[in-house]
Amino acid sequence: MSAVDASHVRVAQPQRLTLRLIGSAAVAFGVFLSGFVIDEPAPYELWMAGLVGLWFILGLKISRTTAPLLVLLLTFNVGGMLSLTQMRDLADGPMYIAVSTFLALTSIFYAAIIEDSHKRLPLIFKAWTFAAVITSLLGILGYFQAFPGSEVFTLYDRAKGAFQDPNVFGPFLVPPALYLIHGILVGNLRTSPIKACELLILALGIFLSFSRAAWGLFAFAVVVLIFVMLLKERSGAFRLRVLILSLMAIIMMVASLLIALQIPKVSQLFSARAQLVQEYDGEHLGRFDRHRIGFQMMMERPLGIGPLVFGTIFPEDEHNIWLKSLTTYGWLGFVSYVGMLCWTLYLGFRNMLLDRPWQPFLMVAWISVLGHAAIGNVIDIDHWRHVYLLFGIVWGCAALEVRHKHSSRRINT
């Protein structure tokens, strides 16, 4: 290499590093914006649309490892496009499928940028946590009407933060809460009080959302996280630390819950929402009745009935991701979604206990995907932005593992 060429390389390297830092910061900002979706299109959509396009124009590649995710999600949305042919009045149907397709592309994008550099994972989770703390505080302040106009952050006397629906607001807080719990259990004890305060804010936000799905998701995810950490770590001292800190955290959150329940408004709504089966679940044409009738109907409609049509036939929407996949995306979409979800869970389970720099983030994302699959039995999650981020994290980490194994083989040979 000549001296001129060498000087060009030295100049180009700092420029590339600067561009990568700016790009990573832009990604983190996009994740942060996902916590503020009061109106649609939200700032998240506008920012991510430009960011995704720019990254791929600049050469971001989709590897063979993440290509199946692209194929399955696009097939899922092709099913949605076919379901449009079954609608007499298209209305908002095309826009609904356009949003679904856009969210699918964000999942591919997250997987690709994580595969490009695992160092983006801490940025993603820190931005997510920052957004979660802010939107949770808004929900808490709104619930207690802390300032004029704060009721905009509530719906039906339930905290919703900067979201449209408490049932999305609550689950959005769960993955960053798991991230904080993991940091408390394995991190420096000096920073634990700060993380504990953030965790308390998120836990209170989840509670005040009065979303049974969010409550169940949080409880399930915390138990699974602690179990997986105890399974991974063989050190007796570490296991003792995990058990002690977990017990302290449980005591702290239970105490906070008991204090909150002393407020009559909180206690009354909690008593009503804590019932496993609500009146609108078990009544005629209630949630479970609609599920039964809907599944029977879809056995005769292979192309589905189109987006948002189910809610015009019955009192409410599907509130079940499996039924939603059939009605809105047809049999093709249903098979694609189930296949994608099973493949995602398999990839995460296979790689979750390996000792890698990205292992904690994969663990949190995999547990969250598993939990969201469970609550999908009682709620629609096909337009939840953070769910597509979770899919991207799991697949991106799987791609990192493939690259790691290829690098190890080259070194050994």
* Structure confidence by residue, pLDDT tens digits, 152-171: 999 988 999 999 999 999 99
pTM value is 0.91
Q: How many CB atoms lie within 10 A of CB 165?
A: 15
CA dist 396 and 120 (Å) reads: 11
For residue 221, which of 232, 229, 233 has the smallest C-alpha distance? 229
Give exposure, 168-201, as e/b (b: 16+ Cβ within 10 Å): bbbbbbbbbbbbbbbbbbeeeeeebeebbebbbb
Looking at residue 150, the DSSP 8-state letter turns out to be G
Mean pLDDT of the chain: 87
CA dist 188 and 158 (Å) reads: 35
Q: Considering just the CA atoms, what is the radius of gyration of the chain in Å?
A: 22
Q: What is the DSSP string of 327-388?
A: HHHHHHHHHHHHHHHHHHHHHHHHHTTS--TTHHHHHHHHHHHHHHHHHTTSS--TT-HHHH
- Using one digit for the tens of pLDDT, what is the confidence trace for 24-33? 899 999 999 9
Q: Residue 210's Cα: distance from chain center in Å?
A: 19
Looking at residue 87, the DSSP 8-state letter turns out to be -
Binned at pLDDT 50, 70 and 90, residue 231 comes out as confident
What pLDDT, on the 0 to 100 scale, is given for residue 246? Answer: 76
User: Are 73 and 103 within 8 A, CB to CB?
Assistant: no
Expressed in percent and rounded to 5, the helix, strand and coil fractions of the chain are 75, 0, 25
159: three-class secondary structure by DSSP: strand
Binned at pLDDT 50, 70 and 90, residue 277 comes out as low
User: Are 205 and 158 within 8 A, CB to CB?
Assistant: no
CA dist 231 and 281 (Å) reads: 37
* Side-chain-facing half-sphere of 340: CA atoms under 13 Å: 32
What pLDDT, on the 0 to 100 scale, is given for residue 338? Answer: 96
Residue type present at position 335:
V
Handedness of CA 350, 355, 357, 360 (dihedral sign): positive
Residue 276 has pLDDT above 70, yes or no: no
For residue 64, which of 405, 406, 399, 410 has the smallest C-alpha distance? 399
155 backbone dihedrals φ, ψ, rounded to 5°:
-150, 125
What pLDDT, on the 0 to 100 scale, is given for residue 6? Answer: 47
For residue 322, which of 283, 374, 388 has the smallest C-alpha distance? 374
Q: What angle do helix axes 321-351 and 385-412 make, rounded to 10 degrees?
A: 30
User: Are 79 and 336 within 8 A, CB to CB?
Assistant: yes
Among the ranges given (70-79, 82-91, 115-124, 225-234), the one the predictor scored with the smallest mean pLDDT: 225-234
Angle at 173 between CA 147 and CA 362, to 5 degrees: 155
Region 185-198: mean pLDDT is 86
More confident residue, 106 or 318: 106
For residue 344, which of 396, 394, 402, 399 has the smallest C-alpha distance? 394
CA dist 107 and 52 (Å) reads: 10
Which residue reads 């904080």 in tokens? 180
User: Are 160 and 153 within 8 A, CB to CB?
Assistant: yes
Q: Residue 97's Cα: distance from chain center in Å?
A: 19
